Amino acid sequence: MSPRNFGFALLVLAVMACALGVVYQRHHHRQLFIELSRLENQRDELNVEFGRLQLELATMTATDRIEQLAVSRLGMRLAQPEEQRVVVLQ
């Protein structure tokens, strides 16, 4: 085999190796992009759920609601002035 043919064969092999590398990298890039899209969708769903839970927390911890539940479920009431004691710590 002449050096010219050997060089040509070596270049053909190098081009084939580069082409296979490009194909592999594009496939890998597509797989990563699909995963990124899936994770972004999951993030968006979690953000919506987080907002809903924040709204629910704000509703559940509203002072009027807590007072209403204390009166209706627990039978609590405000202490009358004669029932109140002041404690002074020294």
Has residue 1 got a pLDDT over 80?
A: no
**Ranges of H-type helices in the chain:** 3-60, 63-72
Cβ within 8 Å of residue 1, ≥6 positions away:
9
pTM summary value: 0.59
pLDDT digits (tens, 9 = 90+) for 50-77: 999 999 999 888 888 888 888 999 999 8
Question: 14-38: per-residue pLDDT in tens?
Answer: 999 999 999 999 999 999 999 999 9
**If DSSP codes are grouped into helix, strand and coil, which group holds residue 76?**
coil
At 55 the pLDDT is 94
- pLDDT given for residue 45 in this prediction: 98
